[in-house]
Amino acid sequence: MGARDRLVCLVPLVRPASPRGPSSAPLGVAVLGSTGSVGTQTLDVITHHPERFRVVALAAGSNVALLAGQARAFRPDLVALEHPTGDLDLPAGSSLLIGTEGLTAAATHRDAGIVVVATSGHAAIEPTLAAIAAGKIVAIANKETIVCAGALVAAAIAAHGSHLRPVDSEHSALWQALLGGFHADIDRLVLTASGGPFRGLDAARLAGVRATDALHHPTWTMGQKVTIDSATLMNKGLEVIEAHWLFGIPYERIEVVVHPESIVHSLVAFADGSQIAQLSYPDMRLPIQFALTYPHHIPGPQRHLRLDEVGALTFEAPDETRFPALRLAREAGQAGSTYPTVLSAADEVLVHAFVEGRVPFTGIAATIERVLAAHRPTSDLTLAAIRDADAWARAETARQLLR
């Protein structure tokens, strides 16, 4: 029996009997990827609740100027920089570590009660596993960790008694809908997708769209990679794989529906036909705040939803013929092993190529399909196997682009 047959829920589904209240000492927070979209919004949430949180560690890639400003504002014990590109003027009391050692040190900081993993890419996998092994609560916003190493994360959580708190708006919505603790009554999970900026375009027009068009998302403000993945529906496909691991639900019971208004962030359908959804205006600070304050819903910087202002909410089935990335992601997830890693790595290379004008929009999914078809997975999923598959996928994708 494989790891995919022994599904367990990786998020807490029962509100604790004695939840942490606002009078408790500030909770130590480590933010990995502090200069990115989710990282900066995490710090914005923390700014609104200084009595609840203390930033103990910040980690970033190469944005020295922004990281230095964050360090001066929050005065963490530790600052980690993956790629040194200049002088980093730190406040007194903040130490600096460089490279992967710094990222892991931030993830396992002794005073961090919760680690927000907001870094992009596969580099977050090992620090996340280190945080779990150290007994930290992990608020996960990094897709690649769950997509590529879901089985390893599940095993680590089982071994160390930790849990994950999802930060993506869709998975946070599912989590909130399930907090009554009725996991056994689930019929299916339904992830909502905005459909992106090209939802109404036919196949011929899709072939000619540009990166500048793809980067204008109709409802969300996100980083470049996630925004383009939203346009191809790859982002939703990756979220299907994440939902499979986070909530322990088979792929055949995870659906996607297009919801252009992005007000319903996902829903749970139960065995009796009832459905529970989470609704709010599109604002990543809401799921970030809930991951930090669980099980409390507390006031924050978010605008409150008024349905009379929203008006109609519409839903439609996704078109997997025009947007095949959703199908490819589901197939890779069902195949398991290193197929999701190859999917993710190839997509990363191709999104970059699309931005540079080296591949058309429709060529992203078409090339991913060829790369997946050429892949030969290993029998055992290990960190080494993931690294090897990642390297192979990038090389094979580059070769496909030269054809």
* Bridge partner list, 55: 29
Per-state percent for the chain, helix, strand, coil, to nearest 5 = 45, 15, 40
Last residue within a domain, chosen from 111, 145, 167: 167
**What residue type is 171 in one-letter code?**
H
Asked whether residue 104 falls in the same domain as residue 150, the answer is: yes
Asked whether residue 19 falls in the same domain as residue 136, the answer is: yes
Length of the chain in terms of residues written: 403
Asked whether residue 177 falls in the same domain as residue 135, the answer is: no
Asked whether residue 183 falls in the same domain as residue 208, the answer is: yes
CA-CA distance, 169 to 241, in Å (whole number)?
A: 15
CA-CA distance, 221 to 152, in Å (whole number)?
A: 31
CA-CA distance, 184 to 176, in Å (whole number)?
A: 16
Structural domain count of the chain: 2
Asked whether residue 225 falls in the same domain as residue 333, the answer is: yes
Asked whether residue 152 falls in the same domain as residue 209, the answer is: no
Check residue 25 and report its DSSP letter. Answer: P
Q: Identify whether 44 is part of a domain.
A: yes
In tens, the pLDDT along 129-173 reads 999 999 999 999 999 999 999 999 999 999 998 899 999 999 999
Asked whether residue 184 falls in the same domain as residue 81, the answer is: no
Asked whether residue 119 falls in the same domain as residue 264, the answer is: no
Longest dimension (CA), the chain: 62
Which range marks the domain in which residue 376 is found? 169-283+306-403
* Rounded alpha-carbon distances, angstroms, from residue 143 to 61, 105, 150, 151, 171: 17, 21, 10, 14, 11
Q: What is the CATH number of the domain that holds 110?
A: 3.40.50.720
Of 123, 120, 152, 117, whose CA–CA distance to 387 is shortest?
Answer: 123
**70, containing H or E segment:** helix 64-74
Q: Identify whether 289 is part of a domain.
A: no
Which token pair is 231?
């346009």
Which token pair is 326?
């959703």
Q: Identify whether 8 is part of a domain.
A: yes
Tens-digit pLDDT string for the chain (403 aa): 233 446 889 999 887 765 555 557 899 999 999 999 999 999 999 999 999 999 999 999 989 999 999 999 999 999 999 887 767 889 999 999 998 899 999 999 999 999 999 998 888 999 999 999 999 999 999 999 999 999 999 999 999 988 999 999 999 999 999 997 788 899 999 999 999 888 989 988 998 999 888 887 666 666 788 889 999 999 999 999 999 999 999 999 999 999 999 999 999 999 999 999 999 999 999 999 999 999 999 999 999 999 999 999 999 999 999 999 999 999 999 999 999 999 999 999 999 999 999 999 999 999 999 999 999 998 789 999 999 999 999 999 999 999 8
Q: Identify whether 297 is part of a domain.
A: no
CA-CA distance, 269 to 243, in Å (whole number)?
A: 14
In this prediction the pTM is: 0.94
Q: Identify whether 334 is part of a domain.
A: yes
